[in-house]
Structure 1
Amino acid sequence: MQDPLDIIGDSSLPNPYEDASLLLNHQAAGGDPADVLYLSLGESWGHTAPGLRDTLAAPLPRHCHGYMLSPYGLPALRRVLRTYLTADHDLAGVAALGSDYDVAVSQNSTRNAMFHFGRLLREEAACEEAEAVVVTSAPGWDYAGVFTALGWSTRSFALVPERHYQPDPQEVAALLREARRDTSGPLLLVVNAQHNPTGANWSPHAVRAMVRAALEVGACLLVDDAYYAVHDPEVTPTNALRILLEELAGTPHARRPRWLAVRSLGKQFHCNGWGIGALTASPGTLTRLLAHALPQYSYVSAVPLQAAMADWLRNPASGRYLAQQRADGAVKRTEISRRLTRDLGYPGSGFFPGQCAAYLLLAVPPWYRNTPGPGKESYRRLCLSRAGVLLGESRMTTPGCTPDHAQEHVRLYTGPPLPVLTQALDRLCTAGLTWHGAPGEKRLAEFPGRTGGGGHA
């Protein structure tokens, strides 16, 4: 993996990220960071779309190195995104661009946009003391980390393997009704149809029922389309944005709740560090988020990156890149599933390959879950110390916060090339980190050659 000095730096100031601590401790115990196979966060540091890198390396317009006199992003990228999002989500004929919805550039991550959307909803609440409630899935991404920092409380609906991690619309509707009975404050439903971390593609029927349930109780909506473009070739990603606009069509603009759809471009082109994406919302919501709120804390930034992204999206090569990535992703899911079953002894119920996003959810083997002992290290730490493989937490969380049942599963990031993934599975198998574990003391002993003689990382 990438040298920790490049991505973590020194330890002169506190670092809240658990992966950083795991890697530095692993290095201190004698492990070689260059030998680590990093399959934790959706990051590989070396596989950005080549055409996008080439575009950034080419000469860019001189004006993109200065201030923008618009809060909605580099005009060239915004123009491209208005066309791109309308076409990719098939919105023509469903809603009117410029009145039902509009599009702006998201900078400094879609997480930042979610935070300020939550802030806006709190500011507009009729009663400041009323509880604000966000309804999300469990497992799920770290929406709690975004919204609890703003004083929101969270309620979760369950996604379980028995339903292939599909939401139960009746459960969601009941949660929303219960929350509305409990508070007159802001109520927000998060729809993450290409689900992180399971990779499930929520059914259009379920998403439509969830949207209707939210509208019935006056809830606002957040559509998280981070992985809308990341799916197997034969899969049609559920178009939550179009479904939402269809359901709003019969409601006068003045009576429509606030809604926001966020789409990360970093996920589909492997450039997370750029922080660039798209915001789709009603014109009024974009005005409040960007024309009113943005000047309070920032200017439009990373403009050269926005210029490169605009050129790249206009290039047909970007579409070909996504098509190839989808084909490669399907091959990787199939091969990982085969190896988990054949070589690591996983039953079909022990993992979920998914169809979307870039993760595969693995159950922690029962022999390890059932191992007693105070202060037992996490399975992620064990895989790193024994095999030099760093898997991800089953749920994205704010540093320092571990949700209930988070230790029952781990995530395997499927973004790296297939040889890296097969090497990781080989290492886990050799280390006895299989479904049934190695006999006797082998699974309790240090895996030689990974951490030196220094105990667990």
Structure 2
Amino acid sequence: MEPTRFVLDSGRLPNDHEDARLIRWYEARGGDVRDLHYLSLGETWQAVAPGLTAALTRALPAHAHGYTLSPYGMPVLRDVLRDYITRTHHLPRPEAAQYDVAVSQSGTRAAMSDFGRLLLEGADGRGTPPAAIVPSPGWDYAGVLAPLGYRILAYGLRPDRSWQPDVAEIGALLARAGSGCLLVLNPQHNPTGAEWEADTVEAIVRTATTHRAAMLLDDAYYALHAPGTSPTNALRVLVTATRETSVPWLATRTLGKQFHCNGWGIGALTAGPAVLAGLARVTQQRSYGCALPLQAAMANWLRTADEAEAFVDRLRHTYADARSRVTRRLHDDLGFPQYAVHPGSCTSYLRFRVPTRFIRSGSEAHYRRLCLAAGVLPGAGSMTNPVSVPGGQDDGDEAYVRLFLGQPGPLLDSALDRLARAGLGW
């Protein structure tokens, strides 16, 4: 893919990104990155919402090019986001429900790290480090929280439970973790594409509240559910369940996934006012407000509510069509049995099992390199690290990869054709 080449080069400087290393390996063996079908990272570099880029090309207010004196993001975007989060999550007004909304200005990962730092301020620094309890398979929460000093504990998501979390398992981990722990929730789950059941999320939040555990809700894919369905609304559960408690919580909702603008680093942070104030203080230890022209453009775009929602709705249908198309071809053309493919119903990914003959040491790494040699780079089946997440890897005879569904249909078909020709089916 030509766009991949434009964002890859680091010159003589080292690049520890796993995909970058793999692509360099591919090039060293004669591969042309312009011909590579890159299906690992949830990115196309060429599908940003047209209305959003149009908002960026229009004249922006002069003050958008300077500092902001509010630590919660550009005020106009903060106000727009407060209305947007309240409306799309069907929440009571903030002043009636003890929550508020701020702007995530330098990416969700940074906001999660700042929340972890904020919680550590209350720890006495003696004894066992606090625990972060994360889903596995899952996103790279360990990569954010472990460097801060958190012990990483994993709760498993397994095919025999349709990738749903087990409330009892989480309760046992909370009891084991003790005071000061942080529970991470991701109900539109990356990478399985499983939508966690609302009753399960409610039970988990009640259990965490009983244990007085802090909670981090990753709502990155809240808007990217199956067309015509209502997503599990974990934020509303959090707002309701914690209204009479002092349990700290934070919900992050990037706008990059739903508008194809990951590089903007903009999203919503929802929490109680005290938590948002603490986050602002921690954030300002390393950075002032940033990306203010992008914030101004995003505010203008979100004001065109019908246009923005129409784009997201089209994206939902695009992912649903691709999910159906890829699932059918994996079964019909590459011979994968039903149990080896989990189509999911949300997010931008589809996950499937690595054929057993290609598994080495319980890992998908060998299969990914074989796919790459055929001109296709799928993603790892999980971004949790089985070394730092005890019990976080799949059974030794199972490994998974994921495919990003946001590329055009012909490219997805071409990628599957390449895998079939290379004998990489079941």
Aligned to 2:382: 395
Partner of 2:293, secondary structure, is: helix
State which drifts further: 230-239 or 296-305: 230-239
Aligned to 1:238: 232
Kept after mapping to 1: 8 A contact 2:97/2:239: no
Kept after mapping to 1: 8 A contact 2:255/2:266: yes
**Cα deviation per residue 1:104-128 (whole Å; 9 max; x = unaligned)?**
0001111100001000111112454
State which drifts further: 213-222 or 403-412: 403-412
Q: Could you tell me how far apart the structure 1 residues matched to 2:168 and 2:61 are? A: 52
Aligned to 2:116: 118
Partner of 1:297, secondary structure, is: coil
- 1:436-447 correspondence to structure 2 within 5 Å: none
Residue identity in the other structure for 2:61: P
**How much has 1:294 moved relative to structure 2?**
2.3
Kept after mapping to 2: 8 A contact 1:201/1:355: yes
Note the residue ranges of structure 2 that are not aligned, 5 or more in a row.
Answer: none
- 1:326-405 correspondence to structure 2 within 5 Å: 326-369=316-359, 378-385=366-373, 387-397=374-384, 404-405=393-394
Aligned to 1:431: 422
Kept after mapping to 2: 8 A contact 1:64/1:304: yes
The counterpart of 2:223, out of the listed 225, 229, 234, is 229
Q: Could you tell me how far apart the structure 1 residues matched to 2:96 and 2:107 are? A: 24
Summarize the Cα distance change of 1:323–1:377 in structure 2 as closer, same or farther, 3 Å threshold.
Answer: closer
Off by >3 Å, runs of 4+ in structure 1: 2-5, 95-99, 126-130, 400-407
Q: TM-score, normalised by structure 2?
A: 0.94
Q: Could you tell me how far apart the structure 1 residues matched to 2:155 and 2:69 are? A: 43
Summarize the Cα distance change of 1:376–1:109 in structure 2 as closer, same or farther, 3 Å threshold.
Answer: closer
**Cα deviation per residue 1:364-413 (whole Å; 9 max; x = unaligned)?**
012212x799x99621111011x200000111257x98964497101101
Partner of 1:296, secondary structure, is: coil
The counterpart of 2:277, out of the listed 276, 284, 287, is 287
**Cα deviation per residue 1:286-339 (whole Å; 9 max; x = unaligned)?**
00111x222211110011111111111111211100111111211111111111
Aligned to 1:178: 176
Aligned to 1:143: 141
Q: Could you tell me how far apart the structure 2 residues matched to 1:34 and 1:50 are? A: 24
Cα RMSD between the aligned structures?
2.1
Residue identity in the other structure for 1:432: G
Kept after mapping to 2: 8 A contact 1:60/1:304: yes
**Cα deviation per residue 1:62-82 (whole Å; 9 max; x = unaligned)?**
211111111111111101000
Q: Could you tell me how far apart the structure 2 residues matched to 1:376 and 1:259 are? A: 34
Aligned to 1:444: none
Q: Could you tell me how far apart the structure 1 residues matched to 2:73 and 2:38 are? A: 33
Kept after mapping to 2: 8 A contact 1:365/1:434: yes
**How much has 1:5 moved relative to structure 2?**
4.6
Q: Could you tell me how far apart the structure 2 residues matched to 1:263 and 1:376 are? A: 29
Partner of 2:352, secondary structure, is: strand
Q: TM-score, normalised by structure 1?
A: 0.88
Q: How many equivalent pairs are there?
A: 421
Residue identity in the other structure for 2:405: T
Summarize the Cα distance change of 1:120–1:129 in structure 2 as closer, same or farther, 3 Å threshold.
Answer: farther
**Cα deviation per residue 1:194-241 (whole Å; 9 max; x = unaligned)?**
000001000011101100110111101101100000111133210001
Tell me whether 1:302 sits opposite 2:296 in the alignment.
no
Aligned to 1:62: 62
Residue identity in the other structure for 2:79: R
Q: Percent identity?
A: 49
**Cα deviation per residue 1:96-155 (whole Å; 9 max; x = unaligned)?**
437610000001111100001000111112454442101111101111111101000111
Note the residue ranges of structure 1 that are not aligned, 5 or more in a row.
Answer: 436-457
Point out the structure with max Rg over C-alpha. 1
Q: Could you tell me how far apart the structure 2 residues matched to 1:306 and 1:2 are? A: 28
Summarize the Cα distance change of 1:69–1:30 in structure 2 as closer, same or farther, 3 Å threshold.
Answer: same
Aligned to 2:311: 321
Tell me whether 1:152 sits opposite 2:139 in the alignment.
no
Residue identity in the other structure for 2:366: S
